[in-house]
Every structure is written in structure tokens, then in C-alpha cells.
């Protein structure tokens, strides 16, 4: 728990993220992100776009946050996007029962039973609640019968009775736009379309910081392909190089991880096709760029009972945090479920012509949760090494600033020189910030806390020979360098 407390302390003090509208009665599951948090998130976005958009030649769109009820009936969300919920008979607190059972077994150290919960139906869950005499964690009241609770946030559109929903995922708009984008841009199969944006889910019990939120950001990649066509490279990536990549993998029905190449996983039908392998490869590359150690994440094949209603096979990317392994991305083989259903319900033919034949493309997707990636990065970056403060060991790709620029003291000439250097850095595209508040030791500590790799101090020697002191965040060692060597 010590490290969680340390992260809480850094996050709160530096306003990296914080509960939304907190001056009023706080509602769990909504967060704002401060300037430092936004910069780190933008760095993750940049790396995602480089890998998932530019590298594989994808199109990126931005679509509406509200979807009509007709769209979500066709997608299956109105009928099937549910969680099992029971309410306390005394204090009326609602609980997501699968999570309550998982926590109960984990607290007993019964990992086998905890992992089996995902396979249980409603009647079996009720039986487990009864057998184990599980009551409301708050007041020990008896829990009600389990009901299915739809997780979508419903709204009315205009003054009439038109029903809409805040979109529960960013994927549906990609499916709706696919045919027109295919024609307008002269695409060929396989075609890749991406979107980054907000999604909304009415979580029963939003908790665990950014792990279970009601408003969050998804980064979605959809690969449309001909199921009878040759599976080949995407953009600048060749299939041979991708399949040689090794990842940590947990197969369905297994508890232990193995390290296997994507080719081995493909040959043994643990992943459905080569395009699916591309998505896992890109996620592995993204986490490497973020600086999350390989031993801290794995790919897990979902059990049959866990699969979403549309899926022909799922593999989750899970990252180890102090809450255990959390799902940070879902990779799914959606088949032609979405395009076929939208074709039928909209009476619009969404098939396309590929290799001189009419094809209803199948789809594999990668949906990454920005907020969980962001939280996992921070959680795995908290460092302590005998200093009086905890700090974030972020690599340069993820750090909010490359340098902090400080005048040694509030001398007019030192301030002017420090301001001039910071301005030149910004002009050169080197992220940096200036501060002359508090003594130099406290400024070093504040820079360490938010993960700034280096602090530059302007002193009186700078005025004489154009050199500055650079202090390393990781080692705290200092060295002098010429200003021109930094630019």
C-alpha cells in the first residue's frame, strides 16, 4: 500500500488528475486532468498515432458522442450491454455481483474460484452469494435478487421523444462510416480506420482511480479484411517481422503465462489471424515506448464465457498495477457481426467490392483505454531512493517536460537569462518550463515529482562563459554544459 499512497500524494499535490466538480457533491467516476497529466496523456496519444495510424496507413476520424437508439439496437448494446447487479435491502447500495464475488474469493486467497466467477450465470452467482453468506460490505444488509443492468447513459434528443445514448464505445461510428470512407478514399482491403475519443458507461460502482470510470477515452483501431483474401502486411509493417515478436501470453483455461512468438500463437489458434497479430504487436511496441517493463504486462485469451456478444475471439492486454492486473486493451475478432447488422437494420448495403467480387468485410479491432494506460504508467513509475520525496521515473517520451529551467536566485540578470533560454528551447521544440518560486532544492523536488528528466540552473558563471548546471533526475548528479550544446 505504501507505493499507492506515494502515487496518491504526487497525483494530488501536483494536480495530475483529480475528481471532477469536486466543490459540489462528488460523483465517482468522473475526473479532470491538470496541465502535467494532459502533457503525459498527449505523449501517449502521439505514440499511439505514430504506431496505429501512420505506421499502418490508417485513416483517422472523429465522430459524434451521441448515438441514436436505432444504432445501438442494431449493435446489440440495448439488449446485451449489461452487468449483474444486486442492491442492499437496508442501505440501497448497488453492487456489481461478479466483482463482489471476485473480491470475496481473492480476500480468501482462493484464486481458482475468483477466476471462475466470470464463467457463472446469474443463478450460479446467486447460489454462491447464498452459500458463502455474503452481505452488503457497508452495512451487512441482505442483497436483493440479481438483475441485469444496462450500462449505457440514456438521453432525449431535441424536444420530441427521440431516444439517444452517450456512446458506450468509439467503434460503432467507424462501422457506420466505413462504406463511404472506403469509396471516398479509394481504399482496398485490408483497410484500417481509427478513432480516439470519449466513451461513456454508467458503471455500478466507479472506483480504483482511473480504472473504473463513467467517462473515459478510448483509442480504437478497426481492421476490415476479406476473410478469403491473403493476409499480408499493413502499411510499413511486414508480416514476417511482426510474427517473430515474442509476448507473454495466458491461454484460455490456463493460469500460467508462457512466452511465445506471435507465429506460434497463430499456428496454435490462440489468436485468430495475422491481422490480430499486428494489433498485439503494435500494443507491445506502444508499451515499450511508454517505458512499461515487459515483465509488467501480458496478453490473456478470454474464456468462452467472458466473450462479448459480438466476438469470435478476444485477447486482452493486461498491465500489472497495485490493483493487480487490469485490462488496458481489448483485442476482438468481431467477424461481420457489425456490418451485417447495420446493413440489415438500416437497409443500406455496407458490403464493398474487393478483387472484383462483393465482400462483407470481417473486422478485428484493438480498443485501448487511454485512462488505464495513463494510470498504469504512473503506477509503474513511482520511485523512491532515499530522497525526502517520491518521484516519477518517466522516460523522455512520456515526461511532461524535457527540462525545467531555473535561475539560481531572483537576480534580474539570472532571471532574464533563464527566460531567454526557456524561450529558445520552446522555439526548438524542446518541452520545458520556467520557475523561480521557492529555493532551488524545492524546485528540484517538484520537477522530480512530475518526472522531468533534467533541471537546468542559470547561475552567475552562466553570465561569464555561457555554461549551465544540468542536474539529472535519476542520479541527482550535476554537470556543466554549454547552452549551445543543449539546443
CATH code assigned at 444: 3.40.50.800
pLDDT for residue 3 is more than 70: no
Average pLDDT rounded to a whole number, residues 202-231: 92
Same domain, yes or no: 196 and 236: yes
Give the per-residue pLDDT at 281: 98
Give the per-residue pLDDT at 282: 98
Same domain, yes or no: 280 and 406: no
Q: How many separate domains does the chain show?
A: 3
pLDDT digits (tens, 9 = 90+) for 339-364: 999 999 999 999 999 988 999 999 99
pLDDT digits (tens, 9 = 90+) for 91-116: 988 898 998 998 899 888 887 888 78
Q: Which domain holds residue 70?
A: 2-81+153-382
The whole-model pTM stands at 0.92
Give the per-residue pLDDT at 4: 55
Q: Read off the C-alpha cell for 129.
A: 452469494
Give the per-residue pLDDT at 300: 96
pLDDT digits (tens, 9 = 90+) for 287-343: 999 999 999 999 999 988 788 777 888 999 999 998 889 999 999 999 999 999 999
Helix (H), strand (E) counts: the chain: 16, 26
Q: Read off the C-alpha cell for 30.
A: 468522473
Same domain, yes or no: 252 and 273: yes
pLDDT for residue 472 is more than 90: yes
Q: What is the DSSP letter of 436?
A: -
pLDDT band at 487 (very low <50, low <70, confident <90, very high): confident
User: Dihedral (C-alpha) 54, 340, 203, 398: value to the nearest 10 degrees?
Assistant: -10
Q: Are 292 and 377 in contact (CB under 8 A)?
A: yes
**CATH number of the domain within which 240 lies:** 3.30.930.10
Give the per-residue pLDDT at 80: 84
Same domain, yes or no: 157 and 146: no
Question: Is 389 within the bounds of a domain?
Answer: no
Same domain, yes or no: 190 and 116: no
**Number of C-beta neighbours around residue 21 at 10 A:** 10
Amino acid at each position: 500500500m505504501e507505493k499507492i499512497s506515494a502515487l496518491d500524494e504526487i497525483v494530488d499535490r501536483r494536480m495530475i488528475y483529480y475528481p471532477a466538480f469536486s466543490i459540489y457533491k462528488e460523483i465517482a467516476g468522473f475526473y479532470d486532468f491538470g496541465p502535467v497529466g494532459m502533457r503525459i496523456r498527449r505523449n501517449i496519444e502521439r505514440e499511439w498515432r505514430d504506431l496505429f495510424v501512420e505506421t499502418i496507413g490508417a485513416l483517422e476520424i472523429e465522430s459524434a458522442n451521441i448515438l441514436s437508439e436505432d444504432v445501438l439496437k442494431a449493435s446489440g448494446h440495448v439488449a446485451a450491454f449489461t452487468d449483474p447487479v444486486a442492491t442492499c435491502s437496508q442501505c440501497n447500495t448497488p453492487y456489481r455481483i461478479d466483482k463482489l464475488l471476485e473480491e470475496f474469493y481473492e480476500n480468501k486467497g482462493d484464486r481458482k474460484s475468483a477466476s471462475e466467477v466470470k464463467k457463472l450465470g446469474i443463478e450460479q452467482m446467486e447460489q454462491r452469494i447464498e452459500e458463502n453468506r455474503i452481505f452488503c460490505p457497508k452495512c451487512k444488509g441482505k442483497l436483493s435478487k440479481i438483475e441485469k443492468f444496462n450500462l449505457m447513459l440514456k438521453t432525449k434528443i431535441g424536444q420530441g421523444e427521440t431516444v439517444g445514448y452517450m456512446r458506450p464505445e468509439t467503434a460503432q461510428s467507424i462501422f457506420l462510416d466505413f462504406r463511404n470512407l472506403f469509396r471516398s478514399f479509394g481504399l482496398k482491403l485490408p483497410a484500417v480506420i481509427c478513432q480516439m475519443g470519449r466513451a461513456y458507461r454508467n458503471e455500478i460502482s466507479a472506483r480504483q482511480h482511473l480504472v473504473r470510470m463513467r467517462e473515459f477515452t478510448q483509442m480504437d483501431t478497426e481492421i476490415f479484411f476479406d476473410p478469403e483474401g491473403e493476409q499480408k502486411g499493413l502499411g510499413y509493417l511486414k508480416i514476417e517481422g511482426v510474427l517473430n515478436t515474442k509476448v507473454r501470453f495466458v491461454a484460455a483455461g490456463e493460469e500460467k503465462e508462457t512466452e511465445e512468438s506471435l507465429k506460434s500463437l497463430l499456428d496454435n489458434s490462440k489468436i485468430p489471424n495475422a491481422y490480430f497479430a499486428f494489433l498485439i504487436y503494435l500494443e507491445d511496441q506502444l508499451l515499450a515506448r511508454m517505458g512499461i517493463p515487459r515483465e509488467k504486462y501480458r496478453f490473456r485469451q478470454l474464456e468462452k464465457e467472458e466473450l462479448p456478444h459480438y466476438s469470435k475471439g478476444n485477447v486482452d492486454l493486461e498491465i500489472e498495477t497495485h490493483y493487480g492486473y487490469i485490462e488496458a486493451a481489448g483485442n476482438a475478432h468481431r467477424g461481420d457481426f457489425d456490418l451485417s447488422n447495420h446493413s440489415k437494420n438500416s437497409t443500406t448495403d455496407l458490403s464493398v467490392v474487393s478483387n472484383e467480387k462483393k465482400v462483407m468485410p470481417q473486422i478485428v479491432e484493438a480498443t485501448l483505454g487511454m485512462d488505464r494506460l495513463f494510470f498504469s504508467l504512473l503506477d509503474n513509475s513511482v520511485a523512491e531512493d532515499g530522497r525526502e520525496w517520491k518521484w516519477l521515473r518517466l522516460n523522455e517520451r512520456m515526461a511532461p517536460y524535457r527540462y525545467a529551467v531555473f535561475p539560481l536566485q531572483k537576480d534580474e540578470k539570472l532571471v532574464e537569462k533563464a527566460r531567454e533560454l526557456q524561450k529558445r528551447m520552446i522555439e526548438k521544440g524542446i518541452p520545458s518550463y520556467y520557475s523561480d518560486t521557492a529555493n532551488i532544492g524545492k524546485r528540484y523536488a517538484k520537477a522530480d515529482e512530475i518526472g522531468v528528466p533534467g533541471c537546468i540552473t542559470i547561475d552567475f558563471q552562466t553570465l561569464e562563459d555561457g555554461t549551465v548546471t544540468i542536474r539529472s533526475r535519476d542520479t541527482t548528479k550535476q554537470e556543466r554544459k554549454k547552452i549551445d550544446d543543449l539546443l
